[in-house]
Structure formats: C-alpha cells, structure tokens
Structure 1
Amino acid sequence: MDLLKHYVRLHLTAMSAGIDLFGRSEGIEDEEARKLATDVRHQLVEQREALRLVARRIGASEPRLPALAARAGERLGRLKPNGSLVHRTPLTDVVDLEAMHDVACGLVAGWSALQEVDDPRVDRDKVRRLLAQGQDQVERLRDVHRTAARRAFA
C-alpha cells in the first residue's frame, strides 16, 4: 500500500466534508464570524484543488465513496442538540464554529505532514504557503469561536 496516496485521499475526503460544513456559514449570527467562515470556505476550495494536484502527481485517485460517507456524516452532525429543535440558538454558532476550527486544525496537520514529504511530486513551497494560510485560519476561527462562546454563555 502506498501510504502517501492513502493519506492524500483521506485529506481530500476530510476537505470535502469541511467545505460542506463551512457552506453552512450563512446561518451564523455574528457578521464577522459569518464573513470569516465564508472566506475560509473559498480558501478551502482552492486548497482542495492544490491537494487534487498533489493527488494527480502521485497517482492517487479521487475518493468517491469515502467522500460521500464523510459528507453524509457532516449532514448528520447538523442534527446536534442546540437547545431548540426548530431554530438556531447562540449555542449553534458556538458548536458550528468549534467544528470549523477542528476542520482547520486537521487540515493544518495535513499540510504540516506533507511538508515533511521528500518527493519532487509534492511542491513543498506551495505546501508551506498553504500551511501558513491554514494556521491563520485556525487563529481567526479561534477568535470568533471565543466571541460566540462569550455571547452564548453571557
């Protein structure tokens, strides 16, 4: 088994589910958090294209079934309790932003791991830029998550 191919496929799967999660950003109450989530979603779409290029270069196929399962799991995650069966509550924003932060952390770990790959098919300069972008996303998501938590639990 080619572990690098498998690893890239796993991260492509996670990235697709993450993009779906960030697609729910229109429901976030706080304008700054909503804009950030929308911006990060657009960045993730670009990052996914960069990862697809790595996948093509190393001969990894696009994961179809795992991607569908991950997306289904993300949709099931929307059924989480938030104190209201019908409406979003401030807790919804806290939990959604927390999940978005977790996605960003996972993607940072992926870019960090790919940075260690000594293979000419992996553009380490591009990976380094994507890692820096991901680290910025993590910090900014952490900030809006804290704001949402203060608002929800005040």
Structure 2
Amino acid sequence: MQHSDTRAVRHGGGTRTSLLGIYLNDHLAGATTGTRRAQYMARTLRGSPLGEALEPIATEIAQDRRSLLDIMGRLDVPARNYKIYTGALVEMAGRLKSNGRLVRRSPLSSVVELEFLRLGVEGKAAGWRTLHRLSESDERLDRQGLDELIERARRQMRTLEDLRLQEAKAVFGTTGHEPVGGTG
C-alpha cells in the first residue's frame, strides 16, 4: 500500500506533481532567500569592487527565481506563499548573526555571505539538474532552457568561489590588505 503523499497525478510519462510541488516550493523558498541576500549584498557593498562584482550576479539570481516560477507555472505547480515568506524571513534573520562587530559591517560578513550564496547556487544547480532529468519524460520542461540555467549556475558558482577566496585571504591572511568589500 502506498502512502498518501506518493499517490499523485503523473504527467508526460511519470512526474509526480504533488511531490514535485513540494520540491519546487522548497527551491522557491531558497531562491527567495538567495535573491534577497544577493540584492542586499550588492546594495550594501555598492561602490566597492565586491559590490560591483556582485551586482550582475544578484540580477541573474533574481532572473533565475523568475525562471523557477515560470517552470512551476508550466508544470501547474502553485507557488506556496508561506514558503516565499519563510525564505524572506530566513534571509532577514541571517542579517542578525554575530560577526564580531555590533554596529558596523564586519569584513567576516562578506566571507560568510559569499559562502551562503555559493551554497545556494549549488542547490539551485542541483534543482535545475533534477528538472533536466525529468525533462526526458515531461514535455512541459524545456531541456535547452534548463541547459542554459545549469551553465549559468556553474558560472555563478565559479565567480562566487573566486570572490569568496579573495575575501577570505584578505580577512584571514597576513597581507595587511583590506577585503575587497571594505569594512563599512
């Protein structure tokens, strides 16, 4: 006997829409968190080399979130508002973390936030790869579009990792150089 959460409508040869809906809404919560954090970082660090490097990535991450919503629409998966709100609350709570400074932004903040973004993009890429696999049996999914999203996520991960390593070296190294993101 199957559990009730696995009994669901199948489309195009095999997609379980109820489980896929949960999965995609979880990714939507993550995408909401990542979009807000990337935009916050780009805005907070505006005028610094790190802020300038983050601005196009923040734009792409927001576009990727919209792509996820478009895919959900094509799959008839409704966006669950509580997941979106949860993602937004998680991002805001993340701003309250202790980073060694009470009033000003710590150089450590950029390292931790870049790690967070990098991990989020890695999760996003995993979601795109899952959908790509599902596209083999579900004609509602655009394989070429998913290929492009996967490649963009790979590029974002490389860029974020390079920025993270630069910041980590500046923060933890003994070079005496200021982090790219500055201290303010």
Unaligned 5+ runs, structure 2 = 6-17, 174-184
* Matched ranges for 1:5-154 at <5 A: 5-25=21-41, 26-28=43-45, 31-117=48-134, 118-154=137-173
1:72, 1:88 → 2: CA distance? Answer: 20
TM-score, length-scaled by structure 1 = 0.93
- Bigger radius of gyration among the two: 2
Aligned partner of 2:102: which letter? L
Q: For CA contacts below 8 A with separation 6 or more, give which structure has more relative contact order.
A: 1
Unaligned 5+ runs, structure 1 = none
Aligned partner of 2:109: which letter? T
Moved more, 20-29 or 41-50: 20-29
RMSD over equivalenced CA pairs, Å: 1.6
Moved more, 134-143 or 42-51: 42-51
1:39, 1:102 → 2: CA distance? Answer: 18
Deviation per CA, 1:91-124: give whole Å up to 9, x if none. Answer: 1111111111111111111111111002101111
Q: Is the 8 A contact 1:28 1:93 kept in 2?
A: no
TM-score, length-scaled by structure 2 = 0.78
Q: Number of residues paired by the alignment?
A: 154
Q: Is the 8 A contact 2:46 2:52 kept in 1?
A: no
2:21, 2:74 → 1: CA distance? Answer: 10
